[in-house]
């Protein structure tokens, strides 16, 4: 028996027809929103059936422990998921990969239980429009957040429990994922706000020979370089016209840097 979880479902795969009918009877007798086929049963979440669903998960865990000597992880909040029961012929159960999902700023980390090279190539191709890196030493694949499409594709990926010849058991903390989504959304809003304001500061960027794509440290380097050129102390031996031009440029550079520094710090 295999128990595989995704963001939205908990899947019970078995090649034992007795086990299949046991859980099939539990589902059909205790849950109202059920779709049944010959070898597959779906039970959808109903809020007024939470006690029955918790009991079903408890029984499932007992059967699983009896079969594998291990408990099913992350069942405490699985009652809201869709239950899927699948019967598969003998020797047709797919190898299983456990993937623990972690979130760091602008990156999704997938820690795999084994170094399956075929699966790694598949995942990289699945996210081919986004930057991915795989660390073979610790079996961790990193997916960099690019835009909202990153999360849409990620959810599509983790909501399927079968990829290639593998069954995938995803371990995801829902609250951490919610916080990650909110974090990248907030940063996108700040980026939009910054770009809108940056257009109003276009003259200052031009004065310092920079663009909004430069970070504050790069702008400071350009500022220091220009200050050395136009600072009055370095133009004492020039003509009056040249000294006037240098002072005028120096003041523009100073004003430009002060305003851009405030822009970056207020929108960090």
171: burial class by Cβ within 10 Å (0-12, 13-18, 19+)?
Answer: middle
Q: Residue 123's closest CA among 92, 79, 89, 153?
A: 153
- pLDDT tens digit string along 44-58? 999 999 999 999 999
- pLDDT tens digit string along 75-120? 888 999 999 998 876 555 778 899 999 999 999 999 999 999 999 9
- pLDDT tens digit string along 172-210? 988 999 999 999 888 877 777 777 778 888 899 999 999
pLDDT reading at 268 higher than 70? no
Return d(Cα 112, Cα 231) in angstroms, integer. Answer: 58
- pLDDT tens digit string along 210-266? 998 888 999 999 999 999 999 988 888 889 899 899 999 999 999 999 999 988 887
Mean pLDDT of 4-11: 90
3-state secondary structure of 111: strand
Return d(Cα 108, Cα 43) in angstroms, integer. Answer: 30
Q: Which helix (H) or strand (E) holds 70?
A: none
Which pLDDT value is given to residue 92?
58
Tokens of 70: 């291990």
Q: Structure pTM?
A: 0.55
Give the residue with greater pLDDT, 88 vs 143: 143
Long-range contacts of residues 202-211, Cβ cutoff 8 Å, at least 24 apart: 203/256, 204/255, 204/256, 204/257, 204/259, 204/260, 205/256, 205/260, 207/252, 207/253, 207/256, 208/253, 208/256, 208/257, 208/260, 210/260
Q: Residue 13's closest CA among 68, 92, 100, 119?
A: 92
Return d(Cα 127, Cα 118) in angstroms, integer. Answer: 15
- pLDDT tens digit string along 14-45? 988 888 889 999 999 999 999 987 788 999 99
In the chain, pLDDT over 90 holds for what percent of residues?
A: 56
């Amino acid at each position: 028996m295999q128990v595989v979880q995704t963001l939205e479902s908990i899947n019970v795969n078995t090649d034992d027809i007795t086990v299949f009918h046991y859980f099939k009877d539990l589902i059909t007798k205790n849950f109202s929103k059920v779709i049944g086929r010959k070898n597959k049963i779906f039970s959808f979440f109903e809020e007024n059936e939470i006690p029955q669903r918790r009991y079903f998960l408890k029984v499932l865990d007992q059967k699983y422990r009896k079969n594998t000597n291990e408990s099913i992880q992350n069942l405490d909040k699985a009652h809201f998921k869709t239950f899927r029961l699948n019967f598969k012929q003998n020797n047709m159960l797919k190898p299983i990969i456990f993937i623990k999902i972690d979130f760091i700023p602008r990156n999704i980390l997938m820690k795999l239980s084994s170094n399956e090279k075929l699966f790694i190539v598949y995942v990289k191709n699945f996210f081919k429009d986004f930057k991915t890196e795989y660390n073979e030493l610790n079996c961790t694949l990193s997916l960099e957040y690019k835009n909202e499409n990153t999360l849409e594709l990620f959810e599509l990926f983790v909501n399927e429990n079968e990829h290639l010849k593998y069954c995938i058991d995803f371990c995801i903390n829902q609250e951490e994922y919610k916080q990650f989504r909110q974090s990248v959304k907030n940063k996108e809003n700040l980026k939009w706000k910054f770009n809108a304001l940056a257009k109003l500061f276009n003259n200052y960027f031009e004065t310092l020979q920079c663009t909004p794509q430069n970070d504050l440290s790069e702008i400071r380097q350009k500022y220091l370089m220009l200050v050395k050129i136009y600072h009055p102390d370095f133009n004492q031996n020039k003509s009056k016209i040249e000294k006037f031009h240098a002072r005028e440029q120096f003041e523009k550079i100073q004003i430009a840097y002060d305003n851009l520094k405030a822009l970056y710090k207020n929108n960090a």
